[in-house]
């Protein structure tokens, strides 16, 4: 069984990023082959050590600036730590 971060936390991350004016949404897939492989490897490792995880896809700079991407990742981390 894969253990990712709970749906409540994921929704809180998306809501917080949207409140900050950043584009964000939930997806049912981690993306292309490499993204999926990385995500499932991390989930497998989390099961081994008793951790949880979430895959955050950061789009390229033609979609969101590096500054906004960093801001979004910071919001995700804050949301997780405060939850």
Helix (DSSP H) and strand (DSSP E) numbers for the chain: 3, 0
Q: What per-residue confidence (pLDDT) applies to 15?
A: 94
> Over the Cα atoms of the chain, what is R_g?
13
pTM above 0.85, yes or no: no
DSSP class of 37: H
Q: What is the pLDDT of residue 82?
A: 84
pLDDT tens profile 13-65: 999 999 999 999 887 666 667 777 887 887 777 766 666 777 788 888 998 99
Q: Are 8 and 23 in contact (CB under 8 A)?
A: no
């Amino acid at each position: 069984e894969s253990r990712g971060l709970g749906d409540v936390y994921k929704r809180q991350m998306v809501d917080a990023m949207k409140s900050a004016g950043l584009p964000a949404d939930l997806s049912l897939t981690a993306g292309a082959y490499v993204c999926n492989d990385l995500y499932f490897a991390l989930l497998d490792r989390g099961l081994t050590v008793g951790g949880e995880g979430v895959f955050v896809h950061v789009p390229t700079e033609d979609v969101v600036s590096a500054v906004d991407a960093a801001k979004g990742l910071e919001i995700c981390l804050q949301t997780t730590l405060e939850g």
